[in-house]
């Protein structure tokens, strides 16, 4: 496996646990680690050519994201995929948090933010839409960036933590990874509406447009769930 020692700064010494964490995350996102698969500490250590200790630390951190689950004395397993009901619950939770984020972010919004949001939308338009993980990843990254920019611009560390706690954002990636992009045109249009509200400096409108967007995602994801099953 190609070594990524080129991290800037010339810091020769890096924390191995961080590399392991990244490697596991990529493996989870790429679907190499399927839902329910046990993640052996020793086995992963052999595979990544490190000792079990950093693997243990990386898994302890991953557990907080919900990507893996730990059973005492029985090791770790990849968390199961979402059921359609859980997906609906995730959208309900997003409906609680993200409109509030949009409202607050809009109050602090400036040129810089709207520019970055616009860039995220452009990237969304440019992203390929095929079903392969590599293709989907670019799309997902632009989508995630749009929402994260808003969450961060709300300037409230606790709301940001709450947003991050919806680790399902990543799970969602896994869910649709094999399905491809099905709602790109809708998402682009809805994101644009949100951006307009930001440019107009209308927090209440931004909140409403975010609600509209997530409601749309919810409905479309439920439809996709039926297709999948």
Residues contacting 170, CB < 8 A, separation 6+:
28, 29, 65, 67
Task: Return the number of the residue (7 or 189) whose C-beta is nearest DNA.
Answer: 7
Burial class, 74, CB count within 10 angstroms (exposed 0-12 / middle 13-18 / buried 19+): exposed
Question: What residues line the site for DNA (CB under 7 A)?
Answer: 5-6, 10-17, 38-43, 50-54, 56-57, 72-76
The residues in 2-31 that bind its own copies, with binding defined as CB under 8 A, are 13, 15, 18
Among its own copies, DNA, none, the one that 83 touches (CB under a kind-dependent 5 to 8 A) is none
**Dihedral of CA 111/113/118/122: which sign?**
positive
Residue 37 interface partner, choices its own copies, DNA, none, CB cut-off 5-8 Å depending on type? none
> Which of 152, 140, 150, 94 shows the shortest CA–CA distance to 118?
150
- Cβ neighbours for 43, distance < 8 A, ≥ 6 positions apart: none
Helices vs strands, H then E, count in the chain: 10, 3
Q: How far apart are CA 14 and CA 116, in angstroms?
A: 31
End-to-end CA distance of the chain: 36
Query: Nearest approach, Cβ of 130 to its own copies (angstroms)?
Result: 29
| In the complex, least distance from residue 8 CB atom to DNA, rounded to whole angstroms | 12
* Residue 213 interacts with which of DNA, its own copies, none, CB < 5 to 8 Å by class: none
Q: Please state the closest distance from residue 44 (CB atom) to DNA, in A.
A: 8
Please tell me whether residue 84 binds its own copies under the rule CB under 8 A: no
Of 31-39, 41-49, 82-90, 133-141, which part binds its own copies (CB under 8 A)? Answer: 82-90
1 makes contact with its own copies (CB under 8 A): no
Q: Which of 1, 112, 134, 158 binds its own copies (CB under 8 A)?
A: 158
132 binds, options its own copies, DNA, none, Cβ within 5 to 8 A by partner type: none
Q: Which residues contact 36 (CB under 8 A, 6 or more apart)?
A: 77, 78, 80
Q: Return the residue of 30, 37, 57, 77 that touches its own copies, per CB under 8 A.
A: 57
106 touches 201 (CB < 8 A): yes
Residues within the interface to its own copies (CB under 8 A): 13, 15, 18, 53, 56-57, 60-61, 63-64, 66, 72-73, 86, 89-90, 92-94, 96-97, 100, 156-159, 161-168
């Amino acid at each position: 496996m190609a070594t990524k020692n080129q991290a800037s700064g010339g810091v020769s010494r890096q924390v191995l646990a961080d590399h392991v964490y990244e490697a596991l995350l990529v493996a989870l996102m790429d679907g190499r680690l399927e839902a329910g698969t046990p993640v052996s500490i020793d086995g992963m250590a052999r595979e990544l050519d490190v000792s079990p200790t950093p693997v243990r630390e990386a898994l302890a951190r991953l557990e907080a994201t919900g990507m893996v689950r730990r059973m005492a004395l029985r090791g770790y397993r990849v968390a199961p995929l979402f059921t359609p009901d859980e997906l609906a619950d995730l959208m309900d939770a997003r409906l609680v948090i993200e409109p509030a984020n949009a409202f607050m972010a809009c109050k602090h919004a400036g040129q810089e933010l709207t520019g970055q949001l616009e860039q995220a939308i452009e990237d969304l338009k440019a992203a390929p839409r095929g079903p392969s993980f590599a293709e989907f990843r670019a799309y997902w990254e632009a989508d995630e960036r749009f929402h994260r920019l808003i969450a961060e611009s709300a300037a409230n560390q606790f709301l940001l933590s709450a947003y991050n706690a919806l680790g399902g954002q990543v799970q969602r990636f896994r869910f649709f990874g094999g399905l491809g992009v099905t709602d790109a045109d809708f998402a682009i249009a809805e994101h644009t509406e949100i951006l307009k509200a930001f440019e107009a400096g209308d927090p209440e409108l931004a909140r409403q447009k975010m609600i509209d967007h997530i409601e749309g995602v919810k409905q479309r994801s439920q439809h996709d769930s039926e297709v999948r099953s």
